[in-house]
Structure 1
Amino acid sequence: MDYNYKGIRLVYCGTELSTESAGILGQEYHIFSLDDSSKLEAYLSSLSLFSTPDVIMIEVREKEEEAVFAIIAKIKNNPLTSGLIIVLLAQQHDVKLRARAIKAKIHDLYFLPYQMEDLKDRLNFLIKFKLIKPNIEQLSVIKKQKEYIIPTTKRIFDVVAAGGVLVVLSPILLVVALLIKMDSKGPVIYKSKRVGTGYKIFDFYKFRSMKAGADKELKNLSALNQYADDGSGTNAFMKIKNDPRVTKLGNFLRSSSIDEIPQLLNVLKGDMSLVGNRPLPLYEAEMLTSNEWSMRFLGPSGLTGLWQISKRGKADMSDTERKKLDNFYARNYSVWFDMSIMLKTFPALFQREKV
C-alpha cells in the first residue's frame, strides 16, 4: 500500500500502522507497507540501486524475532542495503531484545506506547545524521559549525591539577600497578576508544579491573544490560551488576574509583578536562546519538561531571535523566560550576552498588 510520495522512501513491515500514524509519516515520507517479514525479505531481494529505500521500520513479534534478525543480518551484509536506517518496534519492553538490537547495530528501538510525532522527529535526525555525518570516524574530521575550544583558564587548571595529583599519587599508583600484575594476567592499563568533545576519538585509560578475555564473555551477560557502558569500548549502554568478570582487586579499584586515576593522563594530553560530560564508547556515540544527545558534544568532556555526582552508582539512572544533566552542563558550564562539581565528586567516589 502506497501513501503520499515525498522523496524519502520508508518501508514499514507490520500490521499496527494506523491510518493516523501513516498520515503523520506520510507528510514527509513515501511509505511502502508490508504485512510480515517474509514479504519484507521478498521485497528486499527485488531491490535495485534506484529503488532502495532510506528507512526500514519493522514490528518485532516474539514468534518472528529470529526471522527479523536474520533479515537484518542480510541487510547489513548486502552492500546495496548496508547503509539503510533500521528502526524496530516492539509491543512491550524487553531487555534481551534491546541488547540484541544494540549488538545488531540497529539505529533505534521503540517500545509501546510511543508518540508517532516523536518517532518522526527521530527519523528526521537519523536521516540528516546519515547524510551529513555518515560515521563517527568521519565526524571527527568534519569542520563543525560550532567547535568547542577549552578556555585558557580551564586548561591551565586542568594541567596543573592533573599533573600535581599524578606526582603526589605516583608511589600509590606504582603499588596499584604491581598489585594488578600480581592479581591476574593482562596489562596494567586498559585502553578503549572513546568519543569526546566535537566527536574527537581518543584512547581512554583505566587501571584494568577485569580478568583477561573479559570482552569475550560480554555476550553471555548482555541480558543484564543497564544504562551505561562497562569500560570495554565494545558495547553501548552496558553496565552489569556484580559482574563476574571483575577481579577481586578490580572490585576495590572500581568502588574506590582508583581505576579511573589514569584518566588524568587523558587530561594532560588534552583529550578531556577534569570536569565535563563523560566521553562515550564509539558504538554508543555513533548508533545512539540523537538530537537529544547532540548538545552534550558541544561542551567539554571530562573525568567527572554533573550526572556522576547526581546519581553515581545508582541503578535507577535513566537515559533521559543522564541526557538532561549532560545537556544542562554543556549549556551552563563555568569555572565556578566546575569547582562545585569537583567538591561534590569526592563524597560520590564510594559507590554503594557494584555497578
Structure 2
Amino acid sequence: MFNEILLLDDDKFMQKFVRNLLSKEYTVHCKSTIAEALSFLEKNTVELVISDINLNKESGISFMKTLKNNPQFATLPIITLSGEDASAKKIEVLNLGVDDFVAKPFNPGELHIRIKNILDRYRRFNPHHKIEKKQGKRTLTETLHHIYANKSLIGKRGFDIAFSLVMMLCLLPIYLIIAIAIYIENPGPVFYVSKRIGRDYNVIPFLKFRSMKVNADQLVQGLFVKNSYSKSENIEDIEPCNTMITGDDGFTISEKVFKAKKNQSTFFKIENDPRITKVGAIIRKTSLDELPQLVNVLLGQMSVVGNRPLPLYEAEKLTTDGTVERFNTPAGITGLWQIQKSIDPFMNSEKRMKLDNRYAGTRNTIMDFKLMFRTFPAMLQKEE
C-alpha cells in the first residue's frame, strides 16, 4: 500500500479533519487506540505514521517507543501531531527518533510540506520502494457509496444553485445601486476579495461589497489593541517561566509569555472601526455587503447556510481537537453563529466556537431552513 498514512488520534473530529485535508494525495487510516493502530500495522503496510501524544488513558509516547523498538517498524517515519507544545516534551519525543513534531494548532499547508519532505527522503533511501499513484477515478461501487454518504450535501448543493440564481436575478438593481454608491464615496474597487477558509480547509475567494477604505488592510495591526475579542488577561501580568526560547540575534523570551502572546484572541473585531466608510456602515448594518457571496454559492465554494469562512490567520489557530469540527461542514453566508450574534454581537471566542461546532455536528435540512428564515430579522442587527 503506497501513499498510505496511519493516524493515531482519539479525537474523532481531528481524525475527520486530517483525513479530509490529505485526501487528495493520501489515504489516511484513522485509529483511536494503540491496540487498534498496532493491529492495523501488523496486517497492512503504510508509509507514514502520525500520532498524538495524549490519548484517552494511553500515552502516544509509549506507542512510538513500541514502533522504534520493533525491527519491523523501526524505520517507519513518524510525525507527532499534538496539542502538547512544551519544549521539554518536544525534546523527549524527538529523542525517540521521531522524524517531526507538529504542534496544534498547526498550519495545514505546513503539515502537507512536512509530510511530503519526509516521504521524499524515505523513498529516496529505500531503492526498492515503488511509488504507486493514487487513482483519481472512483469505481461504480465507490461512486454509489459516495453519493449515499453525501446525499444530504448533494441535496443542499441543488438548493444552493437554484436559490443563488433566483436571488441574483432579483437583486440585480440593488447590486448596481450599491456599486455606484461605493465608488462615488471612495473611488476604488467595488468588491472586496479575500482568501477565506471553508470546508475541509479549502481556500475560498470570499466576495463582499467593499465597506472600508481602500487601504483598510494596512491599518489592521495598529488597531489590534482595540480588539473586542481580546482576552482580559494582560500579558505584562504573566509571571515568566524558567524555560527560555531563543530567536534571531540571541533574542530570548520566556516560553510561557511567548505562547500567551501567540494565543491571544483568534478573532478580530473593534467597535466604531475608523476604516469603515459611510456607505459601508449602511450596507454592513443591513448585511447588504454580503450579497456578492451568492456568486460564491453558485460556484460551489460556499453554501447558503453554514459556518462563516474565516481568514487564514484565524483558521490556522482553530486546528485543535476542540475546534476542527467547524471545518467539517460547508461554509455559509448565514448560519447559527450569525443568527445568535444579533442577540449577542460581542460574544467571546469560546462561545462562537461552540456555536460553530454545534452546527457542524447537528446540521440537517430542517435546521438550515429555520436558520434561513431567522436570518431576515437578524439582518437589522448592529454589524461588527
| TM-score (norm: length of structure 1) | 0.58
- Please say if 1:188 is aligned against 2:163: no
Cα drift, residue 57 of structure 1? 6.2
Match of 1:43 in 2: none
- Please say if 1:258 is aligned against 2:288: yes
- Please say if 1:276 is aligned against 2:278: no
Give the letter aligned to residue 297 of structure 1.
F
User: Which of 350, 354, 360 pairs up with 1:324?
Assistant: 354
3-state SS of 2:187 partner: coil
Contact 1:158–1:268, Cα closer than 8 Å, also in 2? yes
Match of 1:349 in 2: 379
User: Which of 93, 98, 110 pairs up with 1:135?
Assistant: 110
Give the letter aligned to residue 110 of structure 2.
N
| Match runs of 1:286-297 below 5 Å | 286-297=316-327
| Match runs of 1:53-132 below 5 Å | 55=85, 125-126=104-105, 129=106
Contact 1:255–1:349, Cα closer than 8 Å, also in 2? yes
User: Which structure: larger Rg?
Assistant: 2
Contact 2:198–2:310, Cα closer than 8 Å, also in 1? yes
Give the letter aligned to residue 135 of structure 1.
E
3-state SS of 1:202 partner: strand
Match of 2:35 in 1: none
Give the letter aligned to residue 289 of structure 1.
T
User: Which of 270, 293, 301 pairs up with 1:240?
Assistant: 270
The 1:314–1:134 alpha-carbon spacing in structure 2 relative to 1, beyond 3 Å, is same
User: Which of 189, 198, 201 pairs up with 2:200?
Assistant: 198
Runs of 4+ with deviation above 6 angstroms = 136-139
Match of 2:153 in 1: 151
3-state SS of 1:135 partner: helix
Report Cα offsets for 1:199-233 as digits up to 9, x if no partner.
110100000000111111112211111339xxxxx
User: Which of 165, 168, 182 pairs up with 1:166?
Assistant: 168
Give the letter aligned to residue 327 of structure 1.
N
Q: Structure 1 unaligned runs (5+)? A: 1-26, 30-53, 59-82, 86-122, 229-234
Report Cα offsets for 1:91-142 as digits up to 9, x if no partner.
xxxxxxxxxxxxxxxxxxxxxxxxxxxxxxxx6x44xx57xx4538869x99
Match of 2:139 in 1: none
Contact 1:180–1:188, Cα closer than 8 Å, also in 2? yes
RMSD between superposed Cα atoms in Å:
3.2
Give the letter aligned to residue 191 of structure 2.
I
Contact 1:275–1:303, Cα closer than 8 Å, also in 2? yes
Contact 2:228–2:346, Cα closer than 8 Å, also in 1? no
For the residues of structure 2 that align with 1:174 and 1:137, how far apart are their CA atoms?
42
3-state SS of 1:242 partner: coil
Match of 1:71 in 2: none
Q: Structure 2 unaligned runs (5+)? A: 1-58, 62-83, 89-99, 117-133, 137-145, 231-264
The 1:342–1:160 alpha-carbon spacing in structure 2 relative to 1, beyond 3 Å, is same
For the residues of structure 2 that align with 1:333 and 1:308, how far apart are their CA atoms?
15
The 1:134–1:193 alpha-carbon spacing in structure 2 relative to 1, beyond 3 Å, is closer
More RCO (CA 8 Å, sep 6+): 2
- Please say if 1:302 is aligned against 2:347: no
Give the letter aligned to residue 353 of structure 2.
K
For the residues of structure 1 that align with 2:112 and 2:166, how far apart are their CA atoms?
33
- Please say if 1:338 is aligned against 2:368: yes
